[in-house]
């Protein structure tokens, strides 16, 4: 039974339509360029309703980007298994998430993180505290090398996401997931557990 006190949430269907439209708009145009009006038009509602439900553009963005995927659910499967396969498993999971509908939120974040300092900070903190740190904590590596290894993994994975979903450079954009797993996996593996200097 729904609670009767507090602020009423409004028509759930309308709210969800706005949210879906916002996710698409932010993914396609980034935070700054996406407009409330365009979101409202796509959701076929009045622009004022967007404010009514979400208050401000920032809050709408946060709601739209609110991770449909939680690293805490995905990472255990990546971390389980042999140490030498973690690179490929990480890339496989990474590509699958970004290729899925949930990936739109990632594209929105990524597109926005470039040209907007506060979204860049969101990405930085999400990467370091939610993803990289969790992975590296499970690997028995020299703590002194930990930040560098994490950063290197980030360069490769974010670079992959940017090329595949933002710049859309071929043949990366249309590559089969397993092709990327087989080629990029070893790179990530080396960054995580390999020798960093020859």
Site residues for a second copy per CB under 8 A: 29-30, 32-33, 110-116, 120, 123-124, 127-128, 147-148, 151-152, 154-160, 162-164, 166-172, 175, 179, 182-184, 186-187, 190-191, 196-198
One residue of 19, 30, 57, 161 binding DNA per CB under 7 A = 57
CB of 17: closest distance to DNA in angstroms? 10
Nearest Cα to Cα of residue 123 among 65, 58, 39 = 65
125 in helix, strand or coil?
A: helix
Length of the chain: 198
Q: Could you tell me if 19 and 53 are in contact, meaning their C-beta atoms sit under 8 angstroms apart?
A: no
22 binds DNA (CB under 7 A): no
Nearest Cα to Cα of residue 135 among 124, 148, 146 = 146
Nearest Cα to Cα of residue 21 among 56, 47, 2, 52 = 47
Q: Output 102 or 114, the one with its CB closest to DNA.
A: 114
One residue of 21, 22, 34, 95 binding DNA per CB under 7 A = 34
What does the binding site for DNA look like in residue numbers (CB under 7 A)?
8-11, 14, 34-38, 45-49, 51-52, 55-58
């Amino acid at each position: 039974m729904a609670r009767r006190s507090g602020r009423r949430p409004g028509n759930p269907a309308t709210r969800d339509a706005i949210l879906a439209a916002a996710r698409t708009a932010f993914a396609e145009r980034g935070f700054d360029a996406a407009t409330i009006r365009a979101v409202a038009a796509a959701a076929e509602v009045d622009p004022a309703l967007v404010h009514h439900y979400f208050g401000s553009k920032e809050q709408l963005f946060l709601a739209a980007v609110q991770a449909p995927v939680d690293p805490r659910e995905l990472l255990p499967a990546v971390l389980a298994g042999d140490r030498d396969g973690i690179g490929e498993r990480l890339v496989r999971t990474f590509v699958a998430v970004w290729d899925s509908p949930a990936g739109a939120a990632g594209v929105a974040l990524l597109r926005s993180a470039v040209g907007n300092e506060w979204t860049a900070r969101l990405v930085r903190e999400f990467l370091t505290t939610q993803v990289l740190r969790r992975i590296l904590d499970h690997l028995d590596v020299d703590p002194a090398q930990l930040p560098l290894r994490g950063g290197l993994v980030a360069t490769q994975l974010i670079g992959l996401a940017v090329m595949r979903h933002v710049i859309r450079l071929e043949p990366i954009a249309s590559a089969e997931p397993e092709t990327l797993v087989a080629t990029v996996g070893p790179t990530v593996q080396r960054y995580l557990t390999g020798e960093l200097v020859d």
